[in-house]
Amino acid sequence: MHRASKTAENAHLLTREFSGGSQYEQRTKRTAQQEWSVSPPLTPLSPPLDFAFSWASHSCLGCWTCRARKVKCEESRPVCKNCTERSLGCDYAPRLKPQRRRRVRSESGTEASPSQHPSSTHPSGCSPTYTSTIEPSLFGSEWSHELPNGLSIHDWPIPLTPTDCQALQHYAEDFIPRMVLRTPRWSSYSFVLLLCSKHALLAHLVLAFSVRDMAKKDDGALHIMAIEHYRIALAMFIDYLGSSERLLWLTFPALWLFIHYEQQYGDDPRALQRHLEGVRDVVASHGPALFSGSSGAFVPMNMGDEERPRQIVSRLALWVIYHDASASTFGFGGSLIRLLNEKYPESIGQIRENSKSMIEAAWGESYPVREQLWDLQLSPLEGLYHECHLLRYELSTVEGGNEDFNLRKLMEVGRELKRLEKEYFPLLHASLLYNDERSTIQSNNYIGPAMYYALVITFERKVWKTRPSIAISKTLQACASLYEREGVGYLWRIAWPMFVAGLETDDLVYQTWIIERFTSMQNLGENLRRAKVVLEKVCLEQRRTGLQVDYLSRIKSGEYQGFVI
């Protein structure tokens, strides 16, 4: 009786704090009514935007920028319409087309051992034993030593095969355009490539990722090559952690590359969890050096043979924190953020502040003014994106049987959601209005709002145990708008909001649309494929039984495969 009365009392407190009479609920409903007067709500009679058309097949004559982003190019020259509207570099330069790869078993030996290379820095015992799977005739007798961003094979600390060189080109020309909606040359990912040319450990890691990303699903030879690079890097990293020499500029890039590889291609989320716990252990051991004060964050680092600004480490550390927050939603992370909050309460805000000028500081005087203006326009989005990741972690802690803790935590999250709604109202409101502008700024502006509304869905489900229909509609509106502009290639940025909306909506049309998008995305990473499988199973069971399925408990029990999005 006492427990039941306490539960009722807690529910009453939450209802009084966030009930329909509250400013938050009234403003949400009023805002929704105003928005729908301009842009009608999603209904079964007006399904998400892509139902009205089908995507035409991608032309092999389109520019490389559009083909890398997997969007249709209308092929106007010298600059296509898509690239003009999005201020992207339009590339029609002719390229060599790889011939069919042949799995050739070398009888005369393997590639030259890295230990024989004059600039190699890793132990000879870690030399790769794979052979090139691309025919040498493709490159001719003197294949090009040029790599992306003006790099050369002579800049690398390990010897590169023709396959490695093609993988690095793939990283710059195909992978980066899928990661960011901005000029790839001036992105953070592009600077990571420069970092990787400074140490053999990072070189093997970026090659592991690039070769694996370049490989087709059934290309076992490239899969093996990627695993070999990963194995060498892991062995080197273990030796590095056991040594007395710890380089700040090397530790976080290596950890982020390990985490990113596991996020994309890992067979088990527990490997991702172990890497995140490894970051936590590094921070626990070396926290004073990492968070000694904001003034020290701008002291240049000695990176190889040159000095680089310390903001680079802050940006990569922030990415790792976001991975940890995402993993916490599915029970595979959160330990890093918990440590930072408990031991270094101001550190996450400090890292975020230091990372703001990372790209400009990294590229220095060569960074174009146009890109600086782009950064200024995207600053509000990055702020909302950051806040939403931290709230994802906070909501993940509302589990278990401690009702008093859960009540306090939910009230804190509710107040934070109110604050974000007020602070970012123009951005949230604009994401729901119809806008025929086609620009990278506009496309990016759907990401933060989609995450925010997904948080509202999760919060309201935990508080009232009912289906939050308004937040579901807003989430779908933002997701459909991004899909209309960028196709499926960029939806991975809002995979979690789509997943949340798919679980909560009871409309078969919406569920089908979301599952179809996940089906199209599943080749972008193993976690997306697993998310699609779980989403299909949960939606089917919920339609059959009419009850909400606790998919997290089934992941913990092993009934469903785990994933992180």
Of the listed ranges 1-10, 306-315, 399-408, 499-508, the least confidently predicted one is 1-10
Same-domain pairing of 217 and 272: no
Quote the mean pLDDT of the chain.
79
Same-domain pairing of 266 and 236: no
Question: Which of 349, 318, 321, 355 has the alpha carbon at shortest distance from 336?
Answer: 321
Is the pLDDT score of 222 beyond 80? Answer: yes
CB of 147 closer than 8 Å to CB of 196: no
Of the listed ranges 4-18, 103-117, 498-512, the least confidently predicted one is 103-117
Same-domain pairing of 241 and 271: no
The pLDDT, as a whole number, for residue 283 is: 87
For 72-79, the CB contacts below 8 A with 24+ separation are: 72/487
Q: Answer yes or no: is 405 within a domain.
A: yes
Instruction: Taking residues 495-507, report their average pLDDT.
Output: 96
The pLDDT, as a whole number, for residue 320 is: 93
**291 phi/psi in degrees, rounded to 5:** -125, 45
Same-domain pairing of 302 and 409: no
Same-domain pairing of 273 and 300: yes
Q: Answer yes or no: is 526 within a domain.
A: no
* Count of domains for the chain: 3
pLDDT band at 208 (very low <50, low <70, confident <90, very high): very high
Q: Answer yes or no: is 21 within a domain.
A: yes
The pLDDT, as a whole number, for residue 68 is: 78
Same-domain pairing of 292 and 307: yes
Instruction: Taking residues 523-527, report their average pLDDT.
Output: 88
Same-domain pairing of 71 and 22: yes
CB of 71 closer than 8 Å to CB of 489: yes
Same-domain pairing of 406 and 478: yes
The model's pLDDT over 20-66, given as tens digits with 9 standing for 90+, comes to 433 333 433 343 343 333 333 333 333 333 333 333 344 567 888 88
Question: Which of 249, 125, 240 has the alpha carbon at shortest distance from 192?
Answer: 249
Q: Answer yes or no: is 424 within a domain.
A: yes
Sign of CA dihedral 489, 490, 495, 501: negative
The pLDDT, as a whole number, for residue 145 is: 54
Same-domain pairing of 141 and 202: yes
Query: Of 455, 489, 523, which closes a domain?
Result: 489
The model's pLDDT over 535-549, given as tens digits with 9 standing for 90+, comes to 999 999 999 999 999
Query: Of 489, 505, 525, which closes a domain?
Result: 489
Higher-pLDDT residue of 160 and 45 is 160
The model's pLDDT over 73-105, given as tens digits with 9 standing for 90+, comes to 888 888 888 888 877 778 877 664 444 343 333
The model carries a pTM of 0.76
The model's pLDDT over 324-370, given as tens digits with 9 standing for 90+, comes to 999 999 999 999 999 999 998 888 998 999 899 899 988 889 999 99
The pLDDT, as a whole number, for residue 304 is: 55
Q: Answer yes or no: is 361 within a domain.
A: no
Same-domain pairing of 201 and 292: no
Calculate what percentage of the chain has a pLDDT beyond 90: 48
Of the listed ranges 115-119, 166-170, 478-482, 515-519, the least confidently predicted one is 115-119
Residues in the chain: 565
Domain span at residue 267 reads 246-352
Question: Which of 400, 367, 401, 376 has the alpha carbon at shortest distance from 188?
Answer: 367
Query: Of 192, 219, 245, which closes a domain?
Result: 245
Is the pLDDT score of 301 beyond 90? Answer: no
Is the pLDDT score of 247 beyond 90? Answer: no
Q: Answer yes or no: is 508 within a domain.
A: no
Q: Answer yes or no: is 310 within a domain.
A: yes
The pLDDT, as a whole number, for residue 307 is: 60
Same-domain pairing of 127 and 57: no
Is the pLDDT score of 137 beyond 70? Answer: no
Q: Answer yes or no: is 269 within a domain.
A: yes
Same-domain pairing of 202 and 271: no
